[in-house]
Structure 1
Amino acid sequence: MMRWPAAVLSALSLGCLVACATAPVRDTPVAASTRVPPPSQALALRESWLAGRHALLLDMMRRHGVGMWVVINEEFHDDPLTAWVAPPLPYAGNRDVFVFVDAGDAGLKRIALTGYATEAVTRFFEMPAVERKQEEALAELDARYRPRTIALGMDGRRGVTRSLTHASYRWLVEALGASAEARFVSAAPLIEEYLDTRLPGEFAPYRDLVALTESLVKRALSNEVVVPGETTVGDVRRWLYDALWEARVGTWFEPDLRVQRQGMKDGFSRGFLAVADEAVVIQRGDLVHVDFGITALGLSTDWQKMAYVLKEGEQDAPEGLKRALANTQALQDALMLRASRPGRSSADVYDDTLAEMKAKGIEAKVYSHPLGAQGHALGASIDFRAASRQEAPRLLRKGSYLAVELNTVTAVPEWGGQQVAVMQEDPAYLTDEGWRFFVPRQDAFYLIH
């Protein structure tokens, strides 16, 4: 598999994304070289991926019957596609237009209609030889190539597939005319394949991001952060925000914590374990859950793990809690190793997984979703929505990334038969033999002394 390009390796050795987790965030500053690469090197890495992604685009366009694909970025209203079809830079033009055309035997034509030319853009796109209005240049492209369809970011189910604004739609109609409007189609199927296709060069950096996510969560759910009887849920959440800043990464959602304890009543909301209030104090005997993810290099992780706070005299979690974790591991195995294969419908995978759990007497929920380009990415989700089959089945794509998100609920004898939810979430990638974790799963609860 491809590793980091040489320019990045000069400042970032293998595994040093994880090294930022070796020192306490609040006490010891983290050296810049142990975080994600600085912006200039991250840009070089992402541009290398962009070239590889463009090389796949023509075949994708032909599979989806797209003659021309137009992405419009507006000032103060960035299109989320822009960073995936063009260099991930700030674009400050009123409208910056990126056009991809199937030119037949001439292959893929990539044209940028921006306010001004920069070397970063011209490495990937042609620019009109003669300066002219964007509308005129776009009309000339349509007249020259006469694409049967013009695909736009409209009418999709998800925000990234319907990101074209009404004003830009009307601008396109005025530029191209009513005859062209009749050829407008939704780019949603093309966008889904384009964003759900992972490149070999993304694998190792993404694995390092997952390892960094794991390391930060292990620290958050440890005595480095938690003092039983004193530390609140809000304290842990604030620590995680500070850890993000220190590691030079962002997040795409608010980190959540959940707390279960013996005798707790009404801990569930809409069938799931409810998020704990920030004022909740973490106590001995609690089972603490965190939902956390990071964003860097244009990629996102999603991660859920659990810790047990030892009571006085305890060396490990009660056996009943361990059996609850084992039930969730059985659910992971059913989904990842036995039900999932490239080309299978995610709806069938869901049904087969839940059928196996029912046969084993395990109360289970599965709500796994694509991962990578976004936290809730495009692709085949394995969840109750897929199982409803209200839309055309989505097939699992080899190489795709998935957040294997699920839970089981188990009665714990040591807690008087109280129902305990063990929720897990791990990034994984699809092989011919099923899903594989980027880093090993949680085989035992993290222990807080």
Structure 2
Amino acid sequence: MRGGCWVVLSCVLLAACATPARRGPGADAPRLLTWSEQMSVREAWLEKRHGLLLDMMRRHGVGMWIVVNEEFHDDPLTQFVAPPRPYAGNRDIFVFVDAGPEGLKRVALTGYAEAALTRFFELPAEGRTTRDVLTELDSRYQPKTIALGIGGRRGVTRSLTRDGYAFLVETLGAGAEARFVSAAPLIEEYLDTRLPEEWEHYRALVALTDAVVKEAFSPAVVVPGKTTVGDVRRWLYDRLWELGVDTWFQPDLRVQRKGLVSSTSRGFLAPSTEDVVIQRGDLLHVDFGITYLGLNTDWQKMAYVPLEGEMDVPAGLKKALANTNALQDALMLRSSRPGRSSADVYEQTMAEMKEKGIEAMVYSHPLGNQGHALGAHVDFRSASRKEEPKLLREGSYIAIELNTATVVPEWDGQKVFVMQEDPAYLTGEGWKFFVPRQEAFYFLGSQVFTTRGAPIH
């Protein structure tokens, strides 16, 4: 959760300074939950997640799983293994033990008492130390493996601090250290398993992301010849604040223009600098995401700024978008199925693009509790097979992120990139979007932009 004492204090101070009230989403956009409502919803999800955990631990051969949260340095797992509340107990530890016939044993060792924890964890009796409890759990259940946030390739799977590790070694002893293993495979399954109860909330979050981007790419925000890339980026930040939601990365904008040589970054079309002024005839792109309810979206859409008197998007640009739609179809409908290798999906998709003569790139990644989440990536990296390709998991969420490059006659043969990114979920028939994809560029004419007929104000 975005929260904690600092944020609460900041809100109080802002209120005292008579800052205008936050502007909610438009009448047609999804209603956002209050903080207390979000806590209630997420704790219901946590109950379901804990119900799945024992089977996951046994599949991965984990006898005990320990998550260590450090004050001012939260472990990224904490809000997904414990109630999403602020934890400020210097060092708070959450322990999950395969207790055999007793089932899953859950113990929380925190510096401050928190009533919400009693719903999910056993708490030690007053006077018992963390060292006492950890030693007793290890002695009583003698887990063959103790899984920790070490040895993973991603931040959430290697998050245990050096001092946290040293504390566990000192407490449990060298014999226990010999049983320490990486929790990465368990963490990946735990975080990549989506709950049915999350689906509708996530769909609403994607719809909200869509609404905010449509508002950003509208005459209400963009005035050709005046508005800069930085102006739009700052508007997006302020809109997030008005809605009371967060983001997990800085919004990026790209401007393509007839006669303007596009720069690249790491092989991709590079973001434009904040001083670039948006002009008529420009093709705009935004990369944007929202964090809410412990879930994240990732969203890329494009808009065309018409020339004076121009009533439609040039045919060459329409063809460029159609090529990207064709790439989406190849990846989502014909290549992807549960249980297929992500590398095989990528290769089949690219083979179809080669056959159709479309210059394409695919770099799709999992979504969920992180924006760049754990699970099967469908991209050129997975196809390298430097690591064992992962199998697509039914129900997983993904960002269908990709682009095509198309020569546009109206731009004197200049190559134009159409980049798209949409959250989707995997079914037995392939990936499906949460909301409809973009099949026409947003057109920044003189009309007041609306979403499903309702102005966003």
Whether TM-score is above 0.5 comes out as yes
Over aligned residue pairs, what C-alpha RMSD do you find?
1.5
Tell me the alpha carbon deviations over residues 298-337 of structure 1, each in whole angstroms, 9 at most, x when there is no partner. 0000000000001112111100000000000000000000
Distance 1:287 1:96, change over 3 A: same
1:239 to 232, 235, 240: 235
**What SS is found at the alignment partner of 2:437?**
coil
**What SS is found at the alignment partner of 2:181?**
strand
Deviation larger for 182-191 or 114-123 = 114-123
Cα distance, 1:136 vs. partner?
1.3
CA distance in 2, matches of 1:209, 1:115: 34
* 1:336 corresponds to 2:325: no
State the match for 2:404 in structure 1: 408
State the match for 2:172 in structure 1: 176
CA distance in 1, matches of 2:130, 2:272: 52
**What SS is found at the alignment partner of 1:135?**
helix
CA distance in 2, matches of 1:396, 1:441: 22
CA distance in 2, matches of 1:418, 1:243: 35
Which letter maps to 2:323? Answer: N
1:288 to 284, 291, 303: 284
* 1:433 corresponds to 2:436: no
Cα distance, 1:385 vs. partner?
1.1
Tell me the alpha carbon deviations over residues 223-253 of structure 1, each in whole angstroms, 9 at most, x when there is no partner. 0101111111111111111110111100000
Cα distance, 1:262 vs. partner?
0.5
Q: Is the 8 A contact 1:291 1:302 kept in 2?
A: yes
State the match for 1:30 in structure 2: 24
CA distance in 2, matches of 1:145, 1:365: 50
Deviation larger for 111-120 or 289-298 = 111-120
State the match for 1:5 in structure 2: none
CA distance in 1, matches of 2:262, 2:431: 34
1:40 to 29, 32, 36: 36
Superposition map of 1:7-18 within 5 A: none
> Which blocks of at least 5 consecutive residues in structure 1 are unaligned?
1-25
CA distance in 1, matches of 2:405, 2:68: 47
**What SS is found at the alignment partner of 2:48?**
helix
CA distance in 2, matches of 1:216, 1:182: 51
Q: Is the 8 A contact 2:300 2:420 kept in 1?
A: yes
Cα distance, 1:129 vs. partner?
3.4
TM-score normalised by structure 2 residue count: 0.91
State the match for 1:219 in structure 2: 215
Tell me the alpha carbon deviations over residues 393-431 of structure 1, each in whole angstroms, 9 at most, x when there is no partner. 111110000000000000001111100000000000000
Cα distance, 1:271 vs. partner?
2.4
Deviation larger for 267-276 or 222-231 = 267-276
* 1:139 corresponds to 2:135: yes
Superposition map of 1:28-427 within 5 A: 29-30=23-24, 35-129=31-125, 131-427=127-423
Distance 1:31 1:309, change over 3 A: closer
Cα distance, 1:164 vs. partner?
0.3
TM-score normalised by structure 1 residue count: 0.92
CA distance in 1, matches of 2:264, 2:90: 47
Equivalent pairs counted in the alignment come to 424
Tell me the alpha carbon deviations over residues 29-78 of structure 1, each in whole angstroms, 9 at most, x when there is no partner. 33899752111111000000000000000000000000000001011111
State the match for 1:8 in structure 2: none
State the match for 1:15 in structure 2: none
State the match for 1:4 in structure 2: none
Cα distance, 1:113 vs. partner?
1.1
Q: Is the 8 A contact 2:46 2:82 kept in 1?
A: yes
Q: Is the 8 A contact 2:297 2:371 kept in 1?
A: yes
Tell me the alpha carbon deviations over residues 270-304 of structure 1, each in whole angstroms, 9 at most, x when there is no partner. 32111111111111110000000000110000000
Which letter maps to 1:30? Answer: G
Distance 1:405 1:106, change over 3 A: same
Q: Is the 8 A contact 2:22 2:244 kept in 1?
A: no
Identity %: 72
Cα distance, 1:128 vs. partner?
2.1
CA distance in 2, matches of 1:171, 1:212: 44
CA distance in 1, matches of 2:262, 2:294: 39
CA distance in 2, matches of 1:295, 1:269: 26
> Which blocks of at least 5 consecutive residues in structure 2 are unaligned?
1-19, 446-457
Cα distance, 1:94 vs. partner?
1.4
**What SS is found at the alignment partner of 1:414?**
helix
CA distance in 2, matches of 1:266, 1:222: 23
**What SS is found at the alignment partner of 1:402?**
strand
**What SS is found at the alignment partner of 2:107?**
strand
CA distance in 2, matches of 1:209, 1:116: 33
